[in-house]
Chains A and B, each alone.
Chain A
């Protein structure tokens, strides 16, 4: 087994480059190293100007999302051993503007997420003296999967619709809206409905399913979106068949 491995890293310096290009680095090959370790080694020992995001290095912060051989991955959870001996290609996440090297601009996602009102909405807040909002294990199960999202945006890099339609809200934002819609403590489903039942939200999704496949936390955003389509469709039927229904 060779003791080094080749990393082809996308470099882009907005001051001097018209477009990203690849730079080749030879890093030590350790069986327990992940791509993030290799990037840290490059920055440490070979090229201090390499720019990328990372934080927890254990798959919970969602910072280190990049394309590894074209596939959206958390670089802290992607082992070099799975790619050795072939060169490993590291690029910034697809479908986002590249700010520098491997760093993308995530303003669009943050704005779309905020549009979904990803917080508990109550008609009336219970006073603290009345105690906590109680929730059974079954009620927790209803939304727990969608609460696992770490906002790593791998799903946005995988979603072709997000790449093709700049207005599309995207998988994570809709899944997080569902996380609150399905939370028994939340009373804001009606508030989120006008935002969700739009062509640039759930109706733009064509259930490609790539988002679910690449999600490192098994959130299944595709499932969340399709289930909400059903909810919205049933709601529409109710509004047509029983237009007098109270709000």
Chain B
């Protein structure tokens, strides 16, 4: 049948078999793939947040004048719109992340696997609690 010489790691071209080329827009062809790519793209908005945060730290450390410039930059309607959009994406990241990490863990209690929502549930609660604590700390300062 097949020779035992080194087999290639992928399916070689066979002249009579038909192989469809995967389109560059494969992620648009099914709603599930688009949702996946949006989930991955949320990481871009996380990176944008970090860059903004670094600018804020830089502006703060340079003094009130540079901080005022930074504030006016934040007030720019395009920047505000970008941040609102980013907020949606980072929340999307959090929601998908907690759901994903529940599926990635297999915790057994007494031999039975505990259902996913018992892992993601506490994560969501912790998320709200931590956010509330941070908000409280920032508001009372």
Tell me the complex Cα distance, A163–B14, Å.
17
Number of B residues with CB within 8 Å of any CB on chain A = 29
What mask results when residues 86 to 104 of chain A are scored 1 for a CB within 8 Å of chain B, else 0? Answer: 0000000011011100000
> Does A222 make an interface contact (CB < 8 A)?
yes
Q: Are A107 and B11 in contact (CB under 8 A)?
A: yes
State which residues 74-116 of B face A: CB under 8 Å: 100, 103-106, 108, 110-113
Say if the beta carbon of B27 comes within 8 Å of chain A.
yes
Q: A98 is contacted by which of B9, B18, B106, B108 (Cβ under 8 Å)?
A: B18
A226 — nearest CB in chain B belongs to which residue? Answer: B104
Contact flag A223-B106 (CB < 8 Å), given A160-B27, A167-B9: yes
Chain B CB within 8 A of A213 CB: yes
- Asked if B136 is at the interface (CB within 8 A of a chain A CB), the reply is no
The reply on B65 being an interface residue by CB < 8 A is no
A200 to B19, CA, bound (A): 21
Q: Are A138 and B26 closer than 8 Å at their CB atoms?
A: no
**B36 contacts chain A at the CB level, 8 A cutoff:** yes
A108 touches B11 (CB 8 A): yes
Interface residues in B1-35 by Cβ distance below 8 A to A read 7, 9-11, 14, 16-20, 22, 26-27, 29-30, 32-33
B29 and chain A: residue at smallest CB distance:
A70
Please name all residues of chain B whose beta carbon is closer than 8 Å to the beta carbon of A222 when the two chains form the complex.
103
* A70 in contact with B30 given A164-B22, A207-B104 (CB within 8 Å): yes
B40 at the A interface (CB under 8 A): yes
**Could you show 6 A-B contacts with beta carbons less than 8 Å apart?**
A97-B17, A99-B16, A167-B10, A223-B104, A226-B103, A226-B104
B residues adjacent to A (C-beta < 8 A): 7, 9-11, 14, 16-20, 22, 26-27, 29-30, 32-33, 36, 40, 100, 103-106, 108, 110-113
